[in-house]
Amino acid sequence: MREDVGQVCLIELPRDFRAGDVLAFHGRDPLLLAERVSADMLQKGLAWRGRAACLMLRFQPRHVEAELAIDGAAGHRDTVALTSMVRRMLGLTQRVDDFEQTYRTHPQLGPLIARRPGLRVPLSPTPFEALTWAIIGQQISVTAAVALRRRLIQAAGLVHSSGLACYPDARRLAGLSEAELRQTGLSGTKARTLSALSRLVQEELLPLEAWTETLPVDDIRARLLGVRGIGPWTVNYALLRGFGWLDGSLHGDAAVRRGLQTLLGETVIVTVDYAERWLAEFSPWRALIAAHLWAMRPSDDDSSVSPG
């Protein structure tokens, strides 16, 4: 019988916190394999230091209660690490107030901010999950990417005692052969990229978790671009969804360009070059603006058809 070890923390939320955005981000899989979402609660299966775990977030008007139930023998309870992860996941480290104060009267961004004040970018629990999701989603629709992600989680075979499947960590993913990865429906290129990435993370040649503390963006970018199959879009998306860095230019994202076309009232398709030039003016907030543009077309979600 498994022993379930629980950790709990209470985190204060700002008055304008948008819990629905977090729930929508984690509720993309209609089959509820690794995430269960209700009106005010998220349950998410994940690997916590190699063990199957279930993260439960219960949202109240001004705080969230986070509980992490870990399968396995009792060990050291690290509520500091749990609190840090949850704060990152909820976007509480993002200085969105500064962005909104700067641009609330801007002719285009002002109305965008007014539609969704307090918008933060929800993050994956780990940079590894964000990065692997970005690789899975290259050049395909969100619906197709969700299906691939589901089959990858199933292939990894880590299941919490609650019944939730757990998103695999690098060690477990590195244990899958390229043939096993291909059986999930991944292309050969994506399977090789995921294998190489997992090995590099497992061997600590890509210290993703340590980077959450120091955020050496230039080093992260250079090291990730050195992995075959990872391009600028994937890096910028992972920096956003894995680390909370708000200045990656996601001009290559089709949904961003469609949102920008709507925002500017353009009758012609917004090109990649035009989107890059337009977003450049708003550094260091380019990725946050992309999130606002995604929110204009929620049916598309982010990364609907993206380059590598």
Answer whether 130's CB lies under 8 Å from 242's CB.
Answer: yes
186: left (phi over 0), alpha (psi -120 to 50) or beta: beta
**Rounded to a whole number, what is the distance in angstroms from the first to the last CA of the chain?**
44
Interatomic CA distance for residues 12 and 16, integer angstroms = 12
Q: Is 205 exposed, middle or buried (0-12, 13-18, 19+ CB in 10 A)?
A: exposed
Residue whose entry in the numeric block shows the structure tokens 């993370």: 201
Answer whether 294's CB lies under 8 Å from 301's CB.
Answer: yes
Interatomic CA distance for residues 172 and 158, integer angstroms = 8
Is 253 considered catalytic here? Answer: yes
Active-site option among 21, 253, 301, 302: 253
Q: Which residues are part of the catalytic machinery?
A: 253
